[in-house]
Structure 1
Amino acid sequence: MTSKKSPVGGHIPVAGGMATKGLKYAAEIGAEAVQVFVSNPRGWAQAAGKPAEDAAMRESGVPTFVHAPYLVNFGSPTPETLERSVASVRHSLQRGAAIGALGVVVHTGSAVTQPFDDAMRQVREHVLPLLDELPNDAPDILLEPMAGQGAMLCATVDQLGPFFEHLENHPKLGVCLDTCHAFCAGHDLAAPDGVQKTLDLLVETVGPGRLKLVHANDSKDPCGSFKDRHENIGAGQIGEKPFAELFRHPEVAGVPFIIETPGRSADPHRKDVETLKRLRDNA
């Protein structure tokens, strides 16, 4: 087993209070780490924080991450989307700092209808200034590769290379690896050496220590399907064993695992957290 245990947790609700309701839910599912939205994940509106809730989150000691809205796309050919993406990620970073978050997860985005090189120039132009604004104690920006659908800029872990090159291997830049995305993009995590190969390639591409978060999700669809449909741990095409292998890889030592699995109540999420803890503790 890796020398440092990875905390296991989940995405928590913020309606009714990020700390008041959210941390209560975290306790119900046995979460040791949490992820939150600080604004509408499917819109551009920027919600203000509540000082008491922010302070409670900071003081909780629970490793916390923010997920930026899904609409963010620095590869978009639409100027309005670019402008709103910058504002949205900056807001997520500011709110993340207020609650003591360790990182802000940002999808790597899509070129939509424009050439890849043009989209990547936009990534540099708009993301590098955001990184340069960050003080050392601010949350990192964590790039999350996608499942490969459409004109996605990054799906397989080696495709993170151009991002790190364009962003000058910035010290505040990290990676969030989603297991469902990676699997559906073509990394066969269920193969005997699939996890080892994937994580070794990640380290080879971006260097050691860049993996800051794992989105632990099984997949409803097969490897290479380019679909993004999450399943509960062990109930999908990946299965339990690869998650145990993830915990054994040295690059994952101490890296938090966050589930984003199906379920409208605490019960399935509690089960997924318990499964991951068991796999971690027996790895």
Structure 2
Amino acid sequence: MSEDREGVDYRVPAWRARHRDPRSPDFLARVYKTFSTHREFKGRLGTRAMPKRKVVDESHLSPPSDDVPDRDYTVACADSLSLGERSTKKSKGVPIQKGPSPVAHQDFSVIPVGPVGRRSKKQQVKSEIENKETGKDEEPAHETDVHMKKRQSTKVEGPEIDQKANLANLGGSTTKRQRKSKAEKEAELVEMPLAARAVGQKLKIGAHVSAAGGVHQSILNSVHIGANAFALFLKSQRKWVNPPLRDEHVTAFHKLCRDYQYDPAQQVVPHGSYLVNLAHTDKSRTEQAYDSFVDDLKRAEKLGIRLYNFHPGNDQCGNRQAAIAHLASNINRAHRETNTVITLLENMAAGGNVLGTTFEDLRDIITLIEDKNRIGVCIDTCHAFAAGYDLRTPEAFQDTMNQFEKIVGFQYLRAMHLNDSKAPFASHRDLHANIGTGFLGLRAFHNVVNEPRFAGLPLILETPLDVRDSRGELVTDDKGKAKEDRSIWAREIKLLESLVGMDAGSEQFRALDAELQDQGASERTRLMGQAERKRKMEDRKAKPPNKRRQKATKEEEKSTGESSPSRLDDNSEVETNGI
């Protein structure tokens, strides 16, 4: 160890000074290793190749003379330490200035050194501004302390909110808003409902609510909108394989049903997966669809649910009666594997190979079911209207109900889906609209809620939750996603309940009907235009060729004495198909 000299205490020999010299490769390697965990410094130097170690001339690093300390050597030693170490830590082998320093005019705690130092200085200034605003007389934090505090997340409570707001106005950083816990969110659903429930009414009106977070969450979501019935998915309807129900979710579901007076056997109607097609005759696809279907029924039984609604499927074999028989066979097989659940066939809107579009399809399926006590029907008002069953006037509504009674039977009606239609009558398009804004109109739903045969049935809304502006355009968020508003369901439930016993010819009803029709006018006009264009195209295809074209074809045949190549191709194709 070198001995002490006047004014300077050298605790390290000169041969180790290369670690303190900014001009030395060893100094850069030491600094990189020391600050490798620092975000800003790592971002600057993390991708820079470090110089290889090599032997350098150390003659210029010899200790200074007895009279005057070497300035470069002293500064290099001082810079090699972090700011915190200079003030608190006495490292072994570090030169400490005892007397008047030749570089005393340089305040290392104030002058920023490099990009990291400049950022630290900015943080220090922000801290001083914060102290001024709050009236605190605190010493500014060290740069290293500022960086350490930046990594720590702090909770904002009480008067600190104003303090953070002031910082935001001055360009400072603010902490993230504290997220609500799961218990707080559940409490808000119940304690701050969008509409109060009218428990005890004959009409059980609700909506298809979310079960995200567990099946028991559907009950809280139903209470939140003031519903007396609800539908849900018992698992993800976008996947074939799903994890089983968790026991704690099943227990919570039963408890919440008791707490909020929901009868799961009568007021809960789960919806089947859209992937399932029990009418598909392919063996592998049949087993895949059947396994998913039976899994849903077993989940329903575990929750005490007795009604289960699903789409009948579509014919993929080209033989409608064979597809219906295959569907009925799978339903019978599922009934044998389960005990209590009643499977409900939903009527469909589209024609073609889709099963369940007509009341006759529903009748044919029910005829082939062995246990008639475990089969039923769920009528969707939008699907029925699009399929050609009118519900708009009292006379048309009664005529449709009489058809259902005659063909299927009211004893099989166990639930309904209440949806208006964006598409015109008999368009075979499944486009749900909010109550009173579509082509069905408010009068159709006045007919439904005042029909005594529907008392006690779960009436489920599947209407859109999209928010629209005064022009009928969708309102989107910053990411371009359509905004949803669950209060729409709450308002529609109250609207339907208010229609019970209301005079359809009263001024109140006419004003309400006109207001809702105005809200959906733009969508109806757009869909009507699409329907008109489609009808014209179909008429054009069905129209026979004009006389001028027929005459030109005959003259061409006479001149050539044979048919045109295109005609020959058509004939050959017909003959091939005939074979």
Q: Does structure 1 residue 229 correspond to structure 2 residue 431? A: yes
2:491 to 271, 275, 278: 271
Q: Does structure 1 residue 146 correspond to structure 2 residue 348? A: yes
| Structure 2: gaps spanning 5 or more residues | 1-200, 466-483, 504-579
The aligned residue for residue 57 of structure 1 is 253
- Normalized per residue, the structure richer in helix is 2
Distance 1:90 1:112 in 2: 22
Q: Does structure 1 residue 47 correspond to structure 2 residue 243? A: yes
* Kept in 2: contact 1:219–1:238 (CA 8 A): yes
Q: State the TM-score, normalizing by the size of structure 1.
A: 0.91
Task: List per-residue Cα deviations over 1:24-55 (Å, max 9, x = no partner).
Answer: 22122111011110112133123311222223
Distance 1:189 1:47 in 2: 41
2:327 to 120, 123, 138: 123
Task: List per-residue Cα deviations over 1:63-100 (Å, max 9, x = no partner).
Answer: 21111101111222332221122111111111111222
Amino acid at match of 1:55: T
Distance 1:104 1:112, change over 3 A: same
SS in 1 for 2:269: strand
The aligned residue for residue 187 of structure 1 is 389
The aligned residue for residue 454 of structure 2 is 252
SS in 2 for 1:257: strand
Distance 1:40 1:88 in 2: 11
The aligned residue for residue 218 of structure 2 is 22
1:12 to 204, 209, 213: 209
SS in 1 for 2:343: strand
* Kept in 2: contact 1:5–1:254 (CA 8 A): yes
TM-fit CA distance, 1:165? 1.0
The aligned residue for residue 231 of structure 2 is 35
Distance 1:134 1:249, change over 3 A: farther
Distance 2:282 2:232 in 1: 27
Distance 1:159 1:56, change over 3 A: same
SS in 1 for 2:308: strand
Distance 1:131 1:6 in 2: 29
Amino acid at match of 1:275: L
Task: List per-residue Cα deviations over 1:105-156 (Å, max 9, x = no partner).
Answer: 1101110342102101211221112123442xx2210000110244112212
Q: Does structure 1 residue 280 correspond to structure 2 residue 500? A: yes
The aligned residue for residue 90 of structure 1 is 294
Equivalent residues, number = 277
Distance 1:82 1:166 in 2: 18
Distance 2:379 2:243 in 1: 27
TM-fit CA distance, 1:169? 6.2
* Kept in 2: contact 1:145–1:178 (CA 8 A): yes
Distance 2:327 2:356 in 1: 12
Distance 1:203 1:248 in 2: 17
Distance 1:81 1:251, change over 3 A: farther
The aligned residue for residue 445 of structure 2 is 243
Amino acid at match of 1:42: R
Distance 1:161 1:51 in 2: 39
TM-fit CA distance, 1:192? 3.7
Distance 1:238 1:107 in 2: 22
TM-fit CA distance, 1:173? 0.3
Distance 2:499 2:371 in 1: 33
Larger C-alpha radius of gyration, 1 or 2?
2
Deviates further, 9-18 or 180-189: 9-18
* Kept in 2: contact 1:34–1:65 (CA 8 A): yes
TM-fit CA distance, 1:196? 1.4
Distance 1:204 1:166, change over 3 A: same
Distance 2:494 2:420 in 1: 15
Deviates further, 55-64 or 225-234: 55-64
- Normalized per residue, the structure richer in strand is 1
RMSD of aligned residue pairs (Cα, Å) = 1.9
TM-fit CA distance, 1:16? 1.7
Distance 2:464 2:495 in 1: 15
Distance 2:371 2:349 in 1: 23
Percentage of identical aligned residues: 30
Amino acid at match of 1:132: R
Amino acid at match of 1:44: W
Distance 1:266 1:119 in 2: 39
- Find runs of 4+ consecutive structure 1 residues off by over 4 angstroms: none
Amino acid at match of 1:152: V
Distance 2:289 2:361 in 1: 21
Q: Does structure 1 residue 73 correspond to structure 2 residue 270? A: no
TM-fit CA distance, 1:168? 4.0
* Kept in 1: contact 2:209–2:231 (CA 8 A): yes
The aligned residue for residue 200 of structure 1 is 402
SS in 2 for 1:90: helix
* Kept in 1: contact 2:394–2:447 (CA 8 A): no
